[in-house]
Amino acid sequence: MRKVTGALLAGAYLCLALTTALLLWRGGGGWGAGVAALIGVLALCFSLQASIARAVESGGLRRELDALREAHQILADQIEAISDHFGDMAESVERDALRRSEALSDEVRMLEALVQRMSDGLDARLATARPYAAPSHAQHAALLETVREALADNRVDLYLQPVVSLPQRRTVFYESFSRLRDATGRIMMPAEYLTVAEPEGLISAIDNLLLFRCVQIVRRLAKSDRKVGIFCNISLASLGDEVFFPQFLEFLAENRDLAGALIFELGQPAFAQRGSIEARNMAKLADLGFRFSLDKVTNLDLDFQDLARADVKFLKISAEVMLNQLLEVDGRLALKSLKDIDAADFANLTRRYGVEVVAEKVETERQVVDILELNVAYGQGNLFGEPRAIRDAVLAEADPPAEFIRASLRRRAAR
């Protein structure tokens, strides 16, 4: 468009120059005057055009500069606003970090205070758990001494095994286990050390360390925004322990946010043998929002109303026990303990009372197929993942209370 406009203006300038030159020539000025007039008029026209173009460009440039200054001012205002926003965010993060640090310090101090009060009873139990003098009990005495030393030196490890949803096999829970190590580092299984720990009253000490570590693991998972629950074994001895339980209940009352992630588990035989004290203490935990699970379930003829009153939300039945309960009645599959309903309706029946069935000790894919036909929602076993030791950085958060126990026991032994 600019080229066309320039050509038209040049043509107009040329016509004007020729007209002027012709007028001078006809007026008697001669050829020289005509040529001079032609050149002069052309020069004057192009000079005027250049001046006008510069003026136009100068005006456009000023407008652009004004627009640029305005945009620069807007940008500066935005940068200042963003800077103020980041400053506010930094102050908020700093306050939040300080608040979390103070909360963590309070929690550690609370743990240490609870462990300090608990260590009196633990020390007394360890002190009274002495080896038998009779030579016939030498092996028993050696094992008891090994258990006592493992507790005194905090050689109690935490193991976690995944509990998965079916059929997706996504990890939704973990079950925690305790394992003791002797002085050589050999792992002692529960079947080995419980034979001497239970009669000597040391099982509460093992439960105490396991419970505190489960709390710390739940805290660590919460920090990484992993919404995974943990089944934490608890014994009747711990539920009825007049020294430990009130202190642990006080700690959980200050940390009710753990209720959705921490599930206390005890065996079906222990649940059936619970007394009034244990039942009341379970009710106190339930009032705080904590749930319960029964494992080692072998009798499927259950009192579901009693389970609901005790806030039992999970039943763990081994795959072998569950599948061995199947029998054919009138052309349909039923359970030996509940012949009136279809086997596939058992899990639905428990759900009516808010209880989910977990098939544990699942070892083969064939068992998974059979379990799915029974509408079981969760599975646990070596097929989905073996128990693994949780150590090093993960257990570092649980070490301060454990270290406190070791130091306390050693100071008392030195007195």
357 is a domain residue: yes
CB–CB of 163/379 below 8 Å?
yes
274-320 pLDDT, tens digit per residue, is 999 999 999 999 999 999 999 999 999 899 999 999 999 999 999 99
CB–CB of 384/202 below 8 Å?
no
Domain end residue (candidates: 128, 163, 180) = 128
> Do residue 256 and residue 200 come from a single domain?
yes
Structure tokens at 244: 């430990």
> Do residue 325 and residue 382 come from a single domain?
yes
CB–CB of 361/130 below 8 Å?
no
pLDDT at position 130: 47
Whether the pLDDT of residue 99 is over 70: the answer is: no
47 vs 414: CA distance, rounded Å = 110
- For residue 398, which of 175, 102, 157, 204 has the smallest C-alpha distance? 157
Query: Number of structural domains, the chain?
Result: 2
109-153 pLDDT, tens digit per residue, is 554 555 455 445 545 554 554 444 433 467 777 888 888 888 777
> Do residue 97 and residue 185 come from a single domain?
no
- For residue 207, which of 131, 151, 259, 273 has the smallest C-alpha distance? 151
Residue 342 DSSP code: B
> Do residue 214 and residue 297 come from a single domain?
yes
Structure tokens at 253: 């009352």
> Do residue 60 and residue 32 come from a single domain?
yes
> Do residue 13 and residue 151 come from a single domain?
no
Whether the pLDDT of residue 65 is over 90: the answer is: no
399 vs 258: CA distance, rounded Å = 19
Mean pLDDT: which of 134-148, 174-188, 217-231 is highest? Answer: 174-188
Higher pLDDT pick, 321 / 403: 321
Residue 53 DSSP code: H
Phi, psi of 59 (to 5 degrees): -65, -40
Quick count: other Cβ atoms within 10 Å of Cβ 250?
A: 13
Strand-pairing partners, residue 294, are: 266, 315
pLDDT at position 161: 94
DSSP 239-292: HT-TTHHHHHHHHHHTTGGGTTTEEEEEEHHHHHH--HHHHHHHHHHHHTT-EE
Mean pLDDT of 341-345: 90
> Do residue 14 and residue 117 come from a single domain?
yes
Q: Residue 285 sits in which domain range?
A: 138-414
DSSP 83-140: HHHHHHHHHHHHHHHHHHHHHHHHHHHHHHHHHHHHHHHHHHHHHH-PPP-SGGGHHH
> Do residue 86 and residue 193 come from a single domain?
no
214 is a domain residue: yes
> Do residue 204 and residue 353 come from a single domain?
yes
336 vs 72: CA distance, rounded Å = 83
Whether the pLDDT of residue 365 is over 50: the answer is: yes
> Do residue 282 and residue 189 come from a single domain?
yes
> Do residue 113 and residue 212 come from a single domain?
no
Domain end residue (candidates: 67, 93, 128) = 128
308 vs 304: CA distance, rounded Å = 6
How far CA 211 is from CA of 176, 218, 227, 249, 333, in Å, comes to 9, 11, 19, 12, 41
> Do residue 150 and residue 76 come from a single domain?
no
- Mean pLDDT lowest among 114-123, 240-249, 340-349: 114-123
189-212 pLDDT, tens digit per residue, is 877 877 777 777 777 777 777 777
Domain end residue (candidates: 101, 128, 155) = 128
238 is a domain residue: yes
pLDDT at position 7: 55
- For residue 282, which of 307, 255, 303, 315 has the smallest C-alpha distance? 307
202 is a domain residue: yes
* Chain-centroid distance, C-alpha 243: 32
Contacts (Cβ under 8 Å, ≥6 apart) of 368: 166, 167, 362, 379, 383
CATH number, position 191: 3.20.20.450
CB–CB of 156/178 below 8 Å?
yes
Give residue 29's pLDDT band: very low, low, confident or very high (50, 70, 90): low
How far CA 375 is from CA of 202, 220, 342, 357, in Å, comes to 40, 33, 11, 9
133 is a domain residue: no
